[in-house]
Amino acid sequence: MGENGKLASEQLKQYYDEGYVILEDFFGVQEIDPLREHIDVFDAELNQQLVAAGGGGFVQIPNQIVFTANLNLRDPVIQAFTAQPKLVDLTTQLLGPDVRLYWDQSVYKRPEAKRDFPWHQDNGYVPTDPVHYVTVWIALEDATIQNGCVWILPRTHAQGVVEHKKTDIGWQCYFGDDPGIPVELRKGGMAVFQSTLFHRSGPNLSQGMRKGYIAQYSVDGARNPTTGVVFDNGPVIARGGKPAYSGFYQRGKWPVRIYIIGAGAIARYHAAAVARLPESDGVPLSVADPNADTLAEFQRQFPAAHGFSDARDMLAAPAEAGDIVVVATPPFTHRELVCMALETGRHTLCEKPLAMSRDEAHQMLQTARAHDCLLGCCSSRFLGLPTSAEVKRLIRSGALGRLYHVTFVNRDRCTRAGIEYQPGSRWFLDRSKNGGGIIMDWGPYDFSALNDILQPVRVDVLSAWMANPATARDPDDVVFDVDEHGGASLRYHLADGTTLQVTYERSACTYGEERSVVEIEGLRGAVTWDWLMAERPGRVTYTFDNGDCFERRTSTFDDPDALDLHDKPLVYFYQRTRGSDSPAVVNEQAVFNFSCFRAMYDYIEKGQTQVVAGR
């Protein structure tokens, strides 16, 4: 070694000629042990989540090989380790005066990992400009052939970035017979190599865990040439060749990239909503749809969008912190597409209804938890309205007294999706594709609004019924087996111990009277309100005893700066991904709301009370 962390002249020559250099005992045990202890916690937590989710998708295999990324952004001790002076000396020697931590992750290979991780270049996972960055592979415990150390192919860095093919465990760039050179390291040693060097890791045939920590460094300002986004996954560690780290760095604003799966009518609403994001200028937009005509029409309306025929190809590159995926496809595809998107490490917003069944919804939630991502539902279109805010205020103030009954009835005579509304989308009429009819279509909005106001901790579906009234306009050339009129009797359990009855009804087809009654009754008053605010101003009517008689007091509310209802899901979800409070329906709340109306179908199927609990 040269002075401090700098390479000696012969080591520097090897780095440029061979593409790598091995630095044994670069760190002492007293430096490595605290780092390993901090990383152990994150690895164990992620592995447990992956096990609970039933798998980890691409590259992640629970109880075998686990990659835990962006550790520096979660732990000041880890981040300070990556910015220490001798790493500044090393990286400025190789990259120049201004250096940023480009990426970091731990890779723990357990004894159950009995297969190679394939030959690849680090650039094969995400393109960078400039191409060259430095990978530092640090042994947290001894890395040996027996426990799955890294293997390299010297001089392959000179080939530049080569084509990679996707395998079931990762991208692969070399399929030849050369086994390469093993890089066995003592604890505290590290391999330093160029990002274009071919490398792999062997199986763990030992009884212990192989533990490695990878820190990758680039010139400050390096970007993704495909999207133009400047990488911001860690702190600047050097300016002008001198240490520049001044304390724990947390990203305040992450560049956003929007990926939409599905290019139909609802997808275009989401694409238009990008203009309402705070950083709307230049937001990279990508869209995937296997239907070439649908994709072409989307790109005609949004010519800057990058088009793909396969969603997996669209999401193949590594995720960045600001990424949002929107799944805008029919419900029978939601679980597979949402889980696939979450497994890439991206926050995912799903069109309503969230899933086809409660089991599917819980699987989606577990996948989100395992990958530390948000799962959102587009059932937020009628949240955040001033009329609903006034109802919440009346309840909190005690003006209604103890609540005992809610009526939530919305009866339309003939507004069936797939027939009178959006007649080209016949999948609305097929239970195997939509999960149900009007209750699956409008239940997401109904129960998101109701649960937003009442905040139940448990909902019991005591009875439920559904019907499909016949009309002269019923199609006879497609499957039509969904409900267009339904209702239920429910018991809501509130956090303060209150229980109240809820009478719920929704129709898109009925020969009975059209009406809408949305009312909460308490022992001291009642309130009705325009929960949709379809017409402005919206009205809230509060009925109470003024001492002489019952009085009805109507207040009006307007919101001239309000978002369009189709802008809300993406804007609200974006706000939540940025750590801001918003009416977005995410994670446990999304699954809870979905389960409330899905349980109506379960009641009809099983003939017994259904309980929805555990938000």
Q: With a cut of 80, say whether residue 227 has pLDDT above it.
A: no
90 Cβ neighbours under 8 A, 6+ residues apart: 5, 6, 7, 134, 136, 192
Q: pLDDT per residue over 380-433, tens digit each?
A: 999 999 999 999 999 989 999 999 999 999 999 999 999 999 898 999 999 999
Per-residue confidence (pLDDT) for residue 3, from 0 to 100:
62
* 32/553 Cα distance (integer angstroms): 69
Q: pLDDT per residue over 178-190, tens digit each?
A: 999 999 999 999 9
- The one-character DSSP state at 43 is H
> Per this entry, what is the length of the chain?
615
Amino acid at the residue 557:
F
Residue 106's DSSP bridge partners are 68, 213
Which H helix or E strand runs over 449?
helix 438-454
Counting beta carbons within 10 angstroms of the beta carbon of residue 181, is it exposed (0 to 12), middle (13 to 18) or buried (19 or more)? middle
The phi-psi region of residue 563 (left if phi > 0; otherwise alpha if psi is between -120 and 50; otherwise beta) is: beta
- Please state whether the peptide bond connecting residue 456 to the residue before it is cis, i.e. omega within 30 degrees of 0: no
Q: pLDDT per residue over 277-308, tens digit each?
A: 877 677 899 999 999 999 999 999 999 999 99
User: What would the mean pLDDT of 122-127 be, rounded to a whole number?
Assistant: 90
| Tokens representing residue 399 in the block | 């003006």
* 131/127 Cα distance (integer angstroms): 7
Residue 103's DSSP bridge partners are 216
Please answer whether residues 73 and 250 qualify as being in contact, where contact means their C-beta atoms are separated by less than 8 angstroms.
yes
User: What would the mean pLDDT of 219-240 be, rounded to a whole number?
Assistant: 85
User: At 55, is the pLDDT very low, low, confident or very high (cuts 50, 70, 90)?
Assistant: low
User: What would the mean pLDDT of 59-65 be, rounded to a whole number?
Assistant: 86
User: What would the mean pLDDT of 355-362 be, rounded to a whole number?
Assistant: 97
Q: With a cut of 90, say whether residue 563 has pLDDT above it.
A: no
| Tokens representing residue 76 in the block | 């000041």
Max mean pLDDT among 39-43, 108-112, 113-117, 222-226 falls in: 39-43
Residue 65's DSSP bridge partners are 61, 109
Please answer whether residues 171 and 119 qualify as being in contact, where contact means their C-beta atoms are separated by less than 8 angstroms.
no
Please answer whether residues 580 and 330 qualify as being in contact, where contact means their C-beta atoms are separated by less than 8 angstroms.
no
Residue 335, CB-side half-sphere exposure with 13 Å CA sphere: 16
Q: pLDDT per residue over 482-523, tens digit each?
A: 999 999 999 999 988 999 999 999 999 999 999 999 999 999
| Collapsed DSSP state (helix, strand, coil) of residue 258 | strand
Could you give the residue ranges of the DSSP H alpha helices within 481-567? none
Q: What is the dihedral of CA 578, 170, 110, 18, to 10 degrees?
A: -100
Q: With a cut of 90, say whether residue 360 has pLDDT above it.
A: yes
Q: With a cut of 60, say whether residue 313 has pLDDT above it.
A: yes
User: At 2, is the pLDDT very low, low, confident or very high (cuts 50, 70, 90)?
Assistant: low
User: What would the mean pLDDT of 341-362 be, rounded to a whole number?
Assistant: 96
Q: With a cut of 80, say whether residue 22 has pLDDT above it.
A: yes
Per-residue confidence (pLDDT) for residue 56, from 0 to 100:
63
Q: With a cut of 60, say whether residue 252 has pLDDT above it.
A: no
User: At 342, is the pLDDT very low, low, confident or very high (cuts 50, 70, 90)?
Assistant: very high
* 196/188 Cα distance (integer angstroms): 24
Amino acid at the residue 209:
M
